Structure 1
Amino acid sequence: MGRSRYKIFEPTHPHFVTCTVLHWIPIFTRTETTDIIFECLKYLQKADNAKIYAYIILENHLHLIISSDNLSKTMESFKKYTARHIIDLLKSKNVTTILDQLMFYKKAHKTDRIYQLWQEGIAPKLIQSEAMMIERINYIHNNPVKRGYVDEPIHWRYSSARNYADQIVSTDREGNKKEFTLLTASASILLVDVSSKKRDKQSINQALSSGKKAAKQESSHIYLSKWQ
């Protein structure tokens, strides 16, 4: 795979992105390697205001729907941090079979390193509508099902499918408990143009409130809108 031709032109908006291990080597068959991914994402949620709408980690690649204050910078930090720490882990465990492959398949222009973990690029796709958001979330969650790895999306350990399907227990004033899934909750997603002059907190909260009302009428319970 050559250098990526894909560019991010709206760096604060949600994108569907893909990170693939060099030569599709199965790195994420170890819990320790997936732990590094989650550790990095948690850090970026605080450092870069990253928001993870959906994710899945398969044996040799991962998909995210993600936004941040500057997505290009966030994904660059993500790939650098995870590559360094996963390679250090493989060295500490003396996993020479994989390390030899990461060295053998390293691109010739990567002269500043011995190993290369990630293929270049993230193939970002801007989430432009509610329908696209839903389609990409479903694609992510159904990925291991289509591959025949599991029967249901929630059975895959490293996926946000469980977050969407987890049961919430609510207790009313009389002490009666009621269970419902997160899929029955409504959510408003507001994409704010950085050049907009109407970015005061009150206006944005009003737009989000209107969006939540609209979300209740949607079959997906998600309402995606743009703030110009």
Structure 2
Amino acid sequence: MSDYRRLYYPGGVYFFTAVTASRQPLFTEASNVDVLRNGFRHVMARRPFKLEAIVILPDHIHCIWRMPEEDADFSNRWKMLKGYVTRHLKGASGRIWQSRFWEHVIRDDEDWRRHMDYIHYNPVKHGLVNDPDAWPFSSYKRYLELGYYAPGWGESEPRNIAGIELE
């Protein structure tokens, strides 16, 4: 039996990574990305939380969630999300997700910014695009419009995330 322990803080802010089983590139199809987005809506309607940032890559996702002040149960939300996607994804057979996900409690503003930058730089890191603005399945554009990023940010690896590996 595993001795794996998770930290549950009501109102906590968490960075997550969830990976497809055997790194299947399930989210190369826009229709599968739509299923994942609908899954998030489904879960958030039943068990609210704030999705602060996300990037959907072909075989994994990274995101930051802010939990409600009185609630820390992110595990059941992930179970609901993975179940929704598994039931609704067309053409997929067998296991869709790795059985676990990785979480990190965001400790302060600097930690939040580092994980936010990691999320938004990820498509460039993986060689999918040369500029985060070119990746369609990311919250980057929203933060660019809000002024968190200057145009051209992420065309080279930002120093604050150099060498970080969160997958």
Q: Same fold (TM over 0.5)?
A: yes
The number of equivalent residue pairs is 144
Higher relative contact order (CA 8 A, sep 6+): 2
Any conservation in 2 of the 1:12–1:71 contact (CA below 8 Å)?
no
Partner of 2:147: 183
| In structure 2, distance between residues paired with 1:141 and 1:4 | 32
Cα distance, 1:133–1:117 mapped onto 2, change above 3 Å: same
Please say if 1:165 is aligned against 2:165.
Answer: no
Partner of 2:6: 7
Q: CA RMSD in A?
A: 2.0
| In structure 2, distance between residues paired with 1:155 and 1:33 | 19
| In structure 2, distance between residues paired with 1:132 and 1:4 | 26
Any conservation in 2 of the 1:21–1:60 contact (CA below 8 Å)?
yes
2:80 is matched with which residue: 47, 56, 77? 77
Any conservation in 2 of the 1:55–1:159 contact (CA below 8 Å)?
yes
Q: CA deviation at 1:46?
A: 2.5
Partner of 2:65: 66
User: Which runs of at least 4 in structure 1 moved beyond 4 Å after TM superposition?
Assistant: none
Identity level (%): 27
Q: CA deviation at 1:60?
A: 0.5
Cα distance, 1:47–1:25 mapped onto 2, change above 3 Å: same
- TM (norm. structure 2) is 0.79
Once the two structures are superposed, residues 53-102 of structure 1 have per-residue CA deviations (whole angstroms, 9 ceiling, x without a partner) of 1100001111110133321221111111111211xx11xxxxxxx63xxx
- Describe the SS at the equivalent of 1:56: strand
Partner of 1:27: 26
Cα distance, 1:40–1:136 mapped onto 2, change above 3 Å: same
> Structure 1: any 5+ residue segments left out of the alignment?
91-97, 100-114, 167-181, 185-228
Q: Which has a greater percent of strand? A: 1
Q: CA deviation at 1:4?
A: 8.8
> Structure 2: any 5+ residue segments left out of the alignment?
149-167
Any conservation in 2 of the 1:11–1:71 contact (CA below 8 Å)?
no
Any conservation in 2 of the 1:20–1:61 contact (CA below 8 Å)?
yes
Cα distance, 1:120–1:36 mapped onto 2, change above 3 Å: same
Please say if 1:127 is aligned against 2:106.
Answer: yes
| In structure 1, distance between residues paired with 2:3 and 2:84 | 19
Q: CA deviation at 1:155?
A: 0.9
